[in-house]
Chains A and B, each alone.
Chain A
Amino acid sequence: MAMDKLYEFLTGPALWIAVIIFVGGLAIRVAWLFGLSQERDKPWHDFKSAVWAWRSIIHWVLPWASVSSRNQPGFTGAVWVFHICWIGVPLFLGAHNMLFEQAWGWSLPSLPDAVADWASMVVIACGVFFLVRRLARPEVRILTSAWDYTLVLLALAPFVTGWLAFNQYGPYGLMLNLHIFLSEVLLIVLPFSKLAHMVLFFASRSAIGYEFGTRRGARVW
């Protein structure tokens, strides 16, 4: 019974709060940075160019499209697959879309459950690889703080718990609530941590594109 009450709270007010903080936090942060940039990042605005922003972004969104990413091809591949699955699974999961349908009367296309199941395992496997890489490579280990490990674990947590719940491993009710709870924690932390690269990646890459490309005619990939 307690689990049901918790579920109601987590999918009710808690979800609202998490989503508002997630969307609002990112929006406010971007708007605030944009305002600040007009005052203190003159070159950014003087050399704006859609072409160079696009070139700078696309060469780093596609895998192995930059020299740097080709230097560590395995890592690059893992990063790419990880990001696609990390975004794709929650949006196109059948179970999530049933909830969207219930709540709003519309939903996104659904992935077959087996595919989503595998994709979740890919996310977890990539995440474990990232953790091992962090520990194994001295130049990465030296940069990594406890918070960095925490964020990797937090980014994986919804997938681990979701996968366990879906496959009915462990106590289902607890796993489901944990899954929702950890996802909400993630949504709340995201705008205020380095995970905000979800949107700031595009701003930062545009800026370096203008700096090297528009201003100097030089490539950054």
Chain B
Amino acid sequence: MTAEAQKAAEEAQEKATVSPEAEAPKPVNVGKIKTILAANEGARMRMWLSICSRCGLCADSCFFYLANDKDPKLSPAYKAINTIGKMYKAKGEVSREFLEECKEVVWGQCTACRRCSMYCPFGIDIATMIATGRAVCYSQGIVPDGLARTTENIRTTGNQMAMATEDWIETCDWMAEEYGEEVHGLEIPIDKQGADYMYTVNPREPMYYPQDVGMAAEIFHIAGLNWTMPSTGWDSTNLAMFAGDRAVATIPVKAMYDKALELGVKAIVITECGHAFRSAKFEGPYWVGIPGGEPPVPVIHSVELFRDIMREGKIKLKHKFEHKVTYQDPCNVSRNGGLWDIGRELVNLLCDDFVDMTPNREHNHCCGGGGGFIPMGPPYKRRRMASGKIKAEQIRATGATHVIVPCHNCFDQINDLNKEYDLKVKVVSFKEIITEIMEIPESMIPPEEDEQEAVLAEEEAKREVEEGAMEEAGEVQES
């Protein structure tokens, strides 16, 4: 299919899915809306709704606005006032048609990246207001299909891709075997009691990119960490958070906390994923109802753990990464996670030729794939590509050949932008870079095949001896 044909097909699909359905409109449950509005109508929401001075400074902070010819209807204040603002004004007495319009704004024109919250002179948390708008729409079944599906998956299976526990464990075993061929003695311990770190992933890793699981295991094994994968609570992502379903959003977080407490780990490690970090570290404690708002076990992002590993010299490098790199600050790692300096420290520990995007750090623009946009799928792809123009231009201006991206949503989005805008870059995670340039210690270099056979034979012999001993012991017991 040519690019144009593909574009046309996508547009047609977008129209087909986005336009309101022809069936008779369902009534709106106003009581439910009122309850959600009341629960969120705290002192902050009241202040935000009343003191906005309509100065318009938030407009320039928003990449949707900037990428779409500064359409004033895409300014954050306009979006908030005309969705959640109107809901409060109408005291929840709103129509389904209105909520359908809101859906296109709160999901289709906002990634909840919170750049506007930072650019407002009054500190009005516009993204949080939009999130409340999402919760209201969701309560009436008005939500992009992609997010509805993933939320249902979480509700029924505990993870967003409905992966069975056996399949997850099998994937870990498979990766342990596969990567054990590169790093001798590599294991992926499951539910190891008393491990220091419990590593949690994004289900797309075991589903589509199992090498991510393998690479993480390689890094942790070589660094000599005492770590484990959990058999439950392993999905740290939380698309229910972006769908606006707080009850379902609680499920994976609670499972993760419970498992971490059960295993007595020192920290929960989040894979290279932005929103998972936000959910586990910041929002989760409130959903689960932990007084004080801190998770029961410290939550750290991969970027932090990798930085510590490299800084402490637990992994030696063959050489530094040789290409010109730039670094994508995921909103939920940098602006909403405070880790922009740690990310840069890690980049500099691994790479010699690093050039920053402009703007960067907490001021970096969202890639355009956050806030649930990627799982919202094809119906929203055209506008995702259009609003991603800002990110594409930022990347192109660096002249880098590689973009390091510690977030799955950014990863997919920048890969798509790479094709759309012909950026000619390679999108990589920290795991990929570390495993590419790290030195495998001599003791972990797998023996040659002959040797391997010898080792295997030796192990076999040992096992036989042990089994024999056990049998004897059994006989003794029986007698």
Q: By the criterion CB–CB under 8 Å, are A42 and B286 in contact?
A: yes
**A159 in contact (CB, < 8 A):** no
Q: Give CA–CA (A37, B43) in the complex, Å.
A: 5
Q: By the criterion CB–CB under 8 Å, are A143 and B123 in contact?
A: no
**B61 in contact (CB, < 8 A):** yes
Set of chain A residues within 8 Å of B363, measured between Cβ atoms: 67
Give the size category of A's interface with B: 35 or more
Q: Give CA–CA (A164, B9) in the complex, Å.
A: 67
Set of chain B residues within 8 Å of A209, measured between Cβ atoms: 123
Set of chain A residues within 8 Å of B335, measured between Cβ atoms: 212, 218
A40 to chain B, nearest CB (A): 3
Q: By the criterion CB–CB under 8 Å, are A208 and B338 in contact?
A: no
**A200 in contact (CB, < 8 A):** yes
The closest CB in chain B to the CB of A220 belongs to B118
Set of chain A residues within 8 Å of B53, measured between Cβ atoms: 194, 197
Interface residues in B283-299 by Cβ distance below 8 A to A read 286, 292-293
Q: By the criterion CB–CB under 8 Å, are A196 and B51 in contact?
A: yes
Set of chain A residues within 8 Å of B73, measured between Cβ atoms: 142
Interface residues in B421-459 by Cβ distance below 8 A to A read none
**A167 in contact (CB, < 8 A):** no
Set of chain A residues within 8 Å of B139, measured between Cβ atoms: none
A75 to chain B, nearest CB (A): 8
The closest CB in chain B to the CB of A43 belongs to B293
Set of chain A residues within 8 Å of B39, measured between Cβ atoms: 40
The size of the chain B interface, using a CB distance under 8 A, is 49
A206 to chain B, nearest CB (A): 8
A70 to chain B, nearest CB (A): 11
Set of chain B residues within 8 Å of A67, measured between Cβ atoms: 119, 359, 363
**A13 in contact (CB, < 8 A):** no
Name the contact of A201 in the complex, choosing from B122, B125, B293, B338 (C-beta under 8 A).
B122
**A36 in contact (CB, < 8 A):** yes
Q: By the criterion CB–CB under 8 Å, are B70 and A203 in contact?
A: no
Apart from A68-B119, A204-B123, 17 more pairs, CB < 8 Å: A33-B43, A39-B42, A43-B293, A67-B359, A68-B120, A75-B57, A139-B65, A139-B75, A143-B56, A194-B53, A196-B50, A197-B51, A197-B53, A204-B124, A208-B120, A212-B118, A215-B282
Proximity string of chain A (4-48) to chain B, C-beta cutoff 8 Å, 1 when within and 0 when not: 000000000000000000000000000001101101111110110
Set of chain B residues within 8 Å of A216, measured between Cβ atoms: 282, 336-338
Name the contact of A47 in the complex, choosing from B59, B60, B293 (C-beta under 8 A).
B293
Proximity string of chain A (66-83) to chain B, C-beta cutoff 8 Å, 1 when within and 0 when not: 111101100100000000
Name the contact of A140 in the complex, choosing from B50, B54, B124 (C-beta under 8 A).
B54
Q: By the criterion CB–CB under 8 Å, are B44 and A41 in contact?
A: yes
Name the contact of B121 in the complex, choosing from A36, A46, A69 (C-beta under 8 A).
A69
**B141 in contact (CB, < 8 A):** no
Set of chain A residues within 8 Å of B54, measured between Cβ atoms: 134, 140, 143-145, 148
Interface residues in A92-143 by Cβ distance below 8 A to B read 134, 137-143
Set of chain B residues within 8 Å of A41, measured between Cβ atoms: 42-44
Set of chain A residues within 8 Å of B81, measured between Cβ atoms: 143
- With A204-B122, A205-B123 as contacts: A68 and B47 at CB distance below 8 Å: no
The closest CB in chain A to the CB of B46 belongs to A33
**B55 in contact (CB, < 8 A):** yes
Q: Give CA–CA (A217, B61) in the complex, Å.
A: 21
Name the contact of A37 in the complex, choosing from B42, B122, B336 (C-beta under 8 A).
B42
Interface of A is mostly: helix
- With A68-B118, A71-B60, A143-B54 as contacts: A56 and B77 at CB distance below 8 Å: no
Q: By the criterion CB–CB under 8 Å, are B72 and A142 in contact?
A: yes
Q: By the criterion CB–CB under 8 Å, are B362 and A40 in contact?
A: no
B275 to chain A, nearest CB (A): 14
Q: Give CA–CA (A200, B53) in the complex, Å.
A: 12
Name the contact of A143 in the complex, choosing from B60, B61, B77, B122 (C-beta under 8 A).
B77
Q: Give CA–CA (A47, B73) in the complex, Å.
A: 34
For the complex of A and B, list the 5 residue pairs with the smallest distance between their C-beta atoms, beginning with the closest: A208-B123, A217-B338, A40-B42, A37-B43, A140-B56
**A207 in contact (CB, < 8 A):** yes
The closest CB in chain A to the CB of B115 belongs to A68
The closest CB in chain B to the CB of A147 belongs to B54
Set of chain A residues within 8 Å of B46, measured between Cβ atoms: 33, 36
**A60 in contact (CB, < 8 A):** yes
The closest CB in chain B to the CB of A45 belongs to B293
Set of chain B residues within 8 Å of A42, measured between Cβ atoms: 286, 293
Q: By the criterion CB–CB under 8 Å, are B51 and A71 in contact?
A: no
Name the contact of B44 in the complex, choosing from A144, A201, A207 (C-beta under 8 A).
A207
Set of chain A residues within 8 Å of B55, measured between Cβ atoms: 75, 140
Q: By the criterion CB–CB under 8 Å, are A200 and B51 in contact?
A: yes
Interface residues in B351-367 by Cβ distance below 8 A to A read 359, 362-363
A-B contact pairs, 22 of them (CB 8 A): A33-B43, A40-B42, A46-B293, A47-B293, A56-B123, A68-B57, A68-B60, A75-B57, A139-B59, A139-B72, A140-B55, A142-B72, A142-B75, A142-B78, A145-B54, A201-B122, A204-B51, A207-B44, A208-B124, A215-B293, A217-B338, A219-B118
Set of chain A residues within 8 Å of B262, measured between Cβ atoms: none
Set of chain A residues within 8 Å of B386, measured between Cβ atoms: none
